[in-house]
């Protein structure tokens, strides 16, 4: 088995490194920062608060387990998780509150009681989403879409042909409007799933309306100790299989000779490798590490996904009405997404996501306190005045949450940190600070993502949220699986 260099220790880089090492490759991971995790890192704030910096919603945990099973290890020796119930607490702008229970029947009954839409309409919608997911996921997510074998396989043709009969044409929002015509709050609830890959429900294709099935059909989960435990467990497995981690050592160039990859250059040394996997965002991979190579401009020019403004707050009180995941909706969702995707700014009224891991991991905050991860979806960085936008949004968020919870929230904040799109870009080398690479705002987006391999340079592979099949923890893990399989098959 040939030695492999992996550039970046994000979740996909860790999973790719572990998979390749298990398969017998000597693997070296180069990481610019001092530790692993990338967007999935953790940090502490003074006063005893721990935070997961980035991802907080976790589905398809079996994709993590798969890596341990591949290594013939018992997943629960490395990584444990619980299924969430309720999944999310929703607070609508008109004051209505709703709990999204894990069980679809119970969730549907809650919708009927709180919003008035018959329970049967909800269970039917979720049931259809499940069927459509089963019919399409294998094709669109689990394999490289860009190999002729996948493109023209009978399964792909069958999956594409099935889309109209599964109701998966048109936009996501249109599909939800059709299903729940008289219930704008329920439409808003389901439209929100477009943000799971940084897209706009008013443009994104109806195929994205399969995402709720992940939570309500398969489940939403919380890893013991927080999301960072995913990165920790994969790092531990990788080390056990001999992966070498070179932290604080950014790759400056991917070396080539003719059309062959020959290694990587860092400030410390030149290393020979015939196989290189980039877990770095694909745009800077081409612009910074392969400046002499022609770049796939059409692919790199695809519109970016949204980014986020995150306020990490140590809060000196406990709130019984809140749980791990809480959403406070804006009054005008269309306005909010137009601001993000058309005007590239932040609306005056925003939907606020509050994630509190101390609800599940009490040591994440001192007794009687909570650690709040408060996130607003915003456009990717195009040079906006983020200091002004962050200050304005902070005021809006404080007013909204204070009103909904009947407190003066600002007085309770004992520690604070803010992460802006330029900060996300600088800390993780993600182009424009986009959370999920390119957006999925058109029907062809899945096909226009960068493949998991280079067509020009055999030996060069790509994993992570900016390439196929997309951003978010499960898809990043699938990209690592696809890359490991492409290398060895």
Return residues touching ligand FAD (CB under 6 A): 7-13, 30-33, 38-40, 54-57, 250-251, 279-280, 308, 310, 424, 428-430, 435-436, 464-465, 471-473, 476
> How many whole angstroms separate alpha carbon 419 and alpha carbon 217?
33
Say which residue the tokens 């306190």 belong to: 369
Output the CA torsion sign for 235, 38, 434, 334: positive
Output the CA torsion sign for 279, 282, 284, 289: positive
- Show the tokens assigned to 348: 């005056």
Q: Beta partners for 253?
A: 265
Relative to beta strand 352-356, strand 325-328 is antiparallel
Residue spans of alpha helices (H) in 357-420: 386-405, 409-412
Say which residue the tokens 């601001």 belong to: 339
Relative to beta strand 260-266, strand 270-272 is antiparallel
- CB atoms near residue 25 (< 10 Å): 20
Say which residue the tokens 């467990």 belong to: 233
> How many whole angstroms separate alpha carbon 381 and alpha carbon 484?
32
> How many whole angstroms separate alpha carbon 79 and alpha carbon 117?
39
Report which DSSP code applies to 95: S
Output the CA torsion sign for 203, 87, 38, 235: negative
Say which residue the tokens 């993000």 belong to: 340
Q: Are 451 and 457 in contact (CB under 8 A)?
A: no
CA of 466: how far to CAs of 37, 69, 154, in Å?
Answer: 16, 26, 27
**DSSP helix/strand/coil, 455:** coil
321 burial via Cβ count (<10 Å: 0-12, 13-18, 19+): exposed
């Amino acid at each position: 088995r040939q030695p492999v260099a992996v550039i970046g220790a994000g979740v996909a880089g860790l999973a790719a490194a572990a998979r390749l090492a298990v398969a017998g490759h000597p693997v070296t991971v180069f990481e610019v920062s001092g530790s692993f995790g990338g967007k999935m890192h953790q940090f502490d704030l003074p006063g005893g608060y721990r935070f997961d910096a980035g991802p907080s919603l976790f589905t398809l945990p079996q994709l993590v387990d798969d890596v341990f099973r591949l290594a013939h290890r018992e997943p629960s020796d490395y990584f444990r998780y619980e299924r969430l119930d309720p999944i999310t607490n929703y607070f609508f702008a008109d004051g209505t509150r709703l709990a999204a229970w894990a069980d679809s029947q119970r969730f549907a009954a809650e919708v009927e009681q709180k919003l008035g839409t018959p329970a049967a309409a909800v269970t039917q919608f979720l049931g259809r989403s499940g069927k459509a997911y089963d019919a399409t996921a294998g094709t669109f997510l689990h394999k490289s879409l860009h190999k002729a074998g996948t493109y023209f396989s009978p399964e792909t043709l069958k999956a594409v042909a099935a889309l109209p009969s599964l109701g998966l044409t048109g936009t996501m929002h249109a599909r939800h409007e059709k299903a729940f015509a008289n219930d704008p709050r329920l439409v808003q609830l389901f439209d929100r799933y477009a943000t799971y890959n940084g897209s706009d429900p008013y443009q994104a294709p109806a195929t994205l309306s399969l995402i709720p099935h992940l939570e309500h059909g398969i489940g939403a989960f919380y890893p013991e100790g927080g999301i960072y435990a995913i990165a920790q467990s994969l790092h531990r497995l990788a080390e056990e299989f001999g992966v070498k981690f070179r932290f604080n050592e950014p790759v400056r160039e991917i070396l080539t000779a003719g059309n062959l990859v020959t290694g990587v250059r860092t400030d410390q040394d030149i290393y020979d490798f015939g196989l290189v996997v980039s877990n770095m965002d694909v745009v800077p991979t081409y612009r910074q590490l392969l400046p002499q190579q022609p770049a796939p401009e059409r692919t790199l020019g695809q519109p970016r996904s949204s980014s986020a403004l995150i306020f990490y707050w140590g809060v000196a009180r406990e709130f019984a009405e809140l749980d791990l995941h809480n959403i406070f909706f804006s009054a005008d969702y269309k306005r909010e997404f137009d601001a993000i995707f058309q005007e590239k700014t932040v609306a005056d009224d925003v939907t606020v996501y509050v994630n509190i891991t101390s609800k599940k991991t009490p040591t994440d905050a001192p007794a009687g306190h909570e650690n709040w991860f408060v996130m607003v979806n915003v456009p990717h960085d195009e040079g906006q005045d983020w200091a002004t936008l962050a200050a304005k949004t902070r005021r809006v968020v404080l007013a909204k949450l204070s009103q909904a919870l009947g407190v003066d929230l600002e007085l309770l904040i004992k520690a604070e940190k803010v992460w802006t799109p330029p900060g996300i870009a600088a800390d993780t080398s993600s182009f424009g600070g986009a959370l999920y690479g390119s957006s999925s705002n058109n029907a062809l987006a899945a096909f226009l993502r960068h493949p998991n391999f280079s067509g020009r340079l055999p030996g060069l592979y790509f994993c992570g949220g900016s390439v196929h099949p997309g951003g978010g923890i499960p898809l990043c893990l699938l990209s690592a699986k696809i890359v490991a399989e492409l290398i060895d098959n």
